[in-house]
Structure 1
Amino acid sequence: MLNDNQKTNYYLYWIQKYRSRIILAVFALIIVLTSVRTVGPEEEGVVVQLGEYSRTEAPGLNFIIPFGIEKMYKIPVQRQLKQEFGFRTTSANQQSSYTKSGYADESIMLTGDLNLTDVEWVVQYRISDSYKYLFRVRNAEKTLRDMSESAMRKIVGDRTVNEVLTVGRQAVATSVEKLLQELCNEYENGIRIDQVVLQDVNPPDPVKPSFNAVNEAQQERETLINQAEAEYNRVIPRASGEAQETIELANAYALNRVNRATGEATRFNSLFKEYSKAPEVTKQRIYLETMERVLPKLGNKVIVDEKGSNVLPLLNIDKSVKIEKKEGN
């Protein structure tokens, strides 16, 4: 067996014998490690040669000049990214967990009516231009975070605390999204804003009890207003209907009286016209028609002559009327 010195001499012999091959293999390995780059399917490879932009490589296996002459930055242009404000996600599993500790400076802001509110939000975005993202703005991620916080504070500062906490939440998110995209276009940072989501909006912890009391009072007021409107809607339409019914009845009565008066006037005019043609005949006919209507309504009847001296003994008018009624039945 060989001792330690012999082993050392043996190894040195083989190293000296194959030194050129070892150097060549190490050199080839360095070339491979510094020149072969794999770009993922959601990425673009931006190649910089000696600090200056050279080209943009597509996904797949790509080669660059080795030994640090060229460098490649992989930019996830097809992936949706996000930034969180006022909280951070600690674990993103089926039941994600969050923490708010240490991030109050991002979320506490002043509203337009000089109230404090705690706004937590998420900005979802994509990198639309990898060249602008790398070279137009220094540290585009931090710049986007600063712009997002500035835009949110501006929009919240233009609204009351009730709008931010209740009905105006969607309007705030939409306005921040629009303003933030305008800032990105102005800065040419190569970022497209997909969505701004208000994760949670609450009053600060010290004023929560007072704010809840105010909300309860407002809700009670709205309830009373709704009840009054319901009673109004129940009574007023009914009264309006009754008033309209009375008006319609009055109009119908007036129309009936006018039509009857018009008919009687027409009848009188027609009668007068006939009377003018033959006064005696018309007078006699009117007399007979009147007696025909009046006599059946009388009880016992006594008929005398013009001088009142003779009484007609037999005139069975009642009997004739009864017979006519029976025959009519």
Structure 2
Amino acid sequence: MSWNEPGGGNNKPRDPWGGGDQGPPDLDEALKKLQDKLGGIFGGRRGGNTGGGSGGGLSGSLLLVLAAGALLVWALMGFYQVDEQERAVVLRFGKYHVTAQPGLRWNPPLIDEVVRVNTTKVRSVSFREIMLTKDENIVELQMSVQYVIDDPNKFVLKVRAPENSLQHAAQSAVRHVVGDTQMDLVLTEGRAKVAIDVRDRLQSYLDLYETGIRLSKVNVDESKPPSQVQAAFDDVIKAREDEERLKNEAQAYANGIVPEARGRAQRQIEEASAYKEQVIANAEGEAQRFSKLLTEYKKAPQVTRERLYLDAVQGVYANSSKVMVDVEGGNNVMYLPLDKMTEKSAASGAARRLQVDSNTMRELVNAVAEQMARDEASTASRRGGR
């Protein structure tokens, strides 16, 4: 017979726990037993007649344990770590208390508020603006601003949204600087100066607002005219490049011509100086020669005159290829073809050059004079015979 079959003739199910004829356990009785056990653990009294005292002991001990646990959790929640690149701004009841340095820190939670700020990270903000230049042209600029948080106290407490304030101040600074600059400078070589001026002005704004931000760098990423006038601006850029190219070519030509002209001028100056020195030297030499000839002339006038005459004749004959000699009182003229004589001498294989010195000239003159005298004497004798 199974455990749940009726038995004993009373048609009641049997208790599987061996309770015999007992019915199902009472739920209230079970809860009361559990309450008595818990009351005994926390210092209460057992027994069904002490329900009021057991409930009071249970309530007080439980509150004490819960309070101790909550205090422990609250204390553990106060520990926090500040990294090396961070600073922690501690607010006590909403008011600035202290700035915590890197390390393990503890502050009472729910009383102090800790705001950790990274002071070494380089942050960046970019924006694009269309604005007017000083010459009333429109340009489009894209700029990026790099910055770090220099003073975490000011960054957290002085300004509600410091990064938004940074962007607004940057736009204001850019408009001020570009509005005081010509369009050509903004679009070409003046971009670096625009970035420097914007950085200085923007830093002054941030210091005035006490944002605690220190700028690292301001870059002009792009500067261009609006798309509506881009084609015309490209033509202007091309013309400017052509102008620069022509200037460079002209400068290269000048660099080649000017030194050459200066060299020629210097050469002419040197030649003129050399000619000057030569003329002065010749003049001084002629003067000294004349002085010496004068001294010799005073010593022997006849010899000196003959010497001067021969030198003059030598100079004349040296430059002439034909000589005609006439004798006083005679009718015949002697013609000496020196050029033919020279050619004949060269044709005969003479290797030496015809040179007329003073001795040769003297001998030649004497021979010519003697020949002419003999011819004159012969002619006179023939006339006398008749």
Q: TM-score, normalised by structure 1?
A: 0.73
Instruction: Indicate if the aligned counterparts of 2:310 and 2:361 stay in contact, CA closer than 8 A.
Output: no
Deviation at 1:117, TM superposition (A): 1.5
Is 1:83 matched with 2:125? yes
- In the other structure, the counterpart of 1:146 is 168
Deviation at 1:81, TM superposition (A): 1.7
Deviation at 1:309, TM superposition (A): 7.9
Distance 2:183 2:199 in 1: 20
Q: How many residues align?
A: 281
Is 1:28 matched with 2:69? no
Deviation at 1:263, TM superposition (A): 0.9
Aligned residue type for 2:185: E
> Given the alignment, which residue of 72, 80, 89 partners 1:37?
80
Q: Give CA-to-partner distance per residue, 1:49-105, whole Å, 9 cap, x none.
A: 112111111112211122x2211111111222222212xxxxxxxxxxxxxxxxxxx
- In the other structure, the counterpart of 1:227 is 249
Is the radius of gyration larger for structure 1 or structure 2?
2
Note closer, same or farther for the CA distance 1:56–1:249 as it changes in structure 2 (3 Å cut): same
Aligned residue type for 2:208: E
Deviation at 1:32, TM superposition (A): 2.6
Distance 2:66 2:95 in 1: 34
* RCO higher in structure (CA 8 A, sep ≥6): 1
Distance 1:112 1:174 in 2: 18
Note closer, same or farther for the CA distance 1:211–1:291 as it changes in structure 2 (3 Å cut): closer
Aligned residue type for 1:62: R
- In the other structure, the counterpart of 1:47 is 90
Distance 1:9 1:79 in 2: 62
Distance 2:181 2:116 in 1: 41
Root-mean-square deviation (Å)? 3.4
Give runs of aligned pairs for residues 52-67 of structure 1, distance below 5 A.
52-66=95-109
Deviation at 1:164, TM superposition (A): 1.2
Distance 1:178 1:135 in 2: 24
Structure 2: unaligned runs, 5 residues or longer: 1-24, 39-57, 312-356, 377-386
Aligned residue type for 2:360: P
Give runs of aligned pairs for residues 1-329 of structure 1, distance below 5 A.
19-20=62-63, 21-22=65-66, 24-33=68-77, 35-66=78-109, 68-86=110-128, 107-276=129-298, 278=299, 281=300, 283-285=302-304, 287-288=306-307, 291=310, 293-297=357-361, 299=364, 301-304=367-370
Distance 1:209 1:142 in 2: 36
Structure 1: unaligned runs, 5 residues or longer: 87-106, 312-329
Distance 2:160 2:233 in 1: 42
Instruction: Indicate if the aligned counterparts of 2:297 and 2:304 stay in contact, CA closer than 8 A.
Output: no
Give secondary structure in 2 for the equivalent of 1:41: coil
Aligned residue type for 2:201: L
